[in-house]
Chains A and B, each alone.
Chain A
Amino acid sequence: KNQVEQSPQSLIILEGKNCTLQCNYTVSPFSNLRWYKQDTGRGPVSLTIMTFSENTKSNGRYTATLDADTKQSSLHITASQLSDSASYICVVRAYNNNDMRFGAGTRLTVKP
């Protein structure tokens, strides 16, 4: 069983709308959690990183939240744009080693 589960698998929204992507993990002990954006045909690019003590972090229209107690994170996208169409990948790193666990990603499509 994957230690990082993302939902939904795919999502279609209209331009200008908001959306929230979910990430649940079982990786322990926890070190940090990153959200990556992967455009079609490209490598993933980091959006945010969150450590144990951080609850919320923003990067422009992207806001990530972390609840380390329930082992859940979310990525909220505000006022979506066509360029937000991509896969969003949640990656969790364990504290005591360099092991990074990748979620399967959420495929977001923003339509005009």
Chain B
Amino acid sequence: DAEITQSPRHKITETGRQVTLACHQTWNHNNMFWYRQDLGHGLRLIHYSYGVHDTNKGEVSDGYSVSRSNTEDLPLTLESAASSQTSVYFCASRGNQNEQFFGPGTRLTVL
């Protein structure tokens, strides 16, 4: 069955370190998204991509970057992790039916 996976599921890092969160989907969807979820807030869009080599900034993109070298993967990089980036991160992909499928999430703690 097609799916969307994220790794790692949990990550603890230190302030200032570079961190990369992986997202992989097997639906062959062109559209992929990264969100962060914090208590009291709805999911907020960080970056998104509509296809290979396409990347776009979302609502809360500062301090994050993405790259899209193939259809299946959209890794999210925190250039220099900050405590404010402690959050749960969700990757999602969307096909032609406009339904977004979410990954299981990555819980990131920045100490």
The answer to whether A42 touches B105, judged by C-beta atoms less than 8 angstroms apart, is yes
Are B42 and A43 neighbours in the complex by a CB distance under 8 Å?
Answer: no
Chain B interface: which of A14-22, A68-76, A96-104? A96-104
**CB nearest to B103 among chain A residues:** A43
Query: Across the interface, do B100 and A100 meet the contact criterion of CB distance under 8 Å?
Result: yes
Q: Whole-angstrom distance from the CB of A59 to the nearest CB of chain B?
A: 13
Residues of chain B contacted by A41 (CB below 8 angstroms): 104-105
Interface residues of B in 85-108 (CB under 8 A from A): 90, 92, 98-100, 102-105
Contact partner of B42 among A34, A42, A98, A104, CB < 8 A? A104
Across the interface, which residues of A come within 8 angstroms of B40, CB to CB?
104
- Within the complex, the shortest CB–CB distance from A42 to chain B, in Å, comes to 6
Which residues of A from 29 to 82 have beta carbons under 8 Å from B? Answer: 32, 34, 41-46, 49
A residues near B (Cβ < 8 Å) are: 2, 4, 32, 34, 41-46, 49, 89, 93, 98, 100-105
A selection of 26 A-B contacts at a CB cut-off of 8 Å is A2-B42, A32-B98, A34-B99, A41-B104, A41-B105, A43-B92, A43-B102, A43-B103, A44-B43, A44-B90, A44-B102, A45-B102, A46-B100, A49-B99, A89-B42, A89-B43, A98-B48, A100-B45, A100-B100, A101-B42, A102-B35, A102-B43, A103-B42, A104-B40, A104-B42, A105-B42
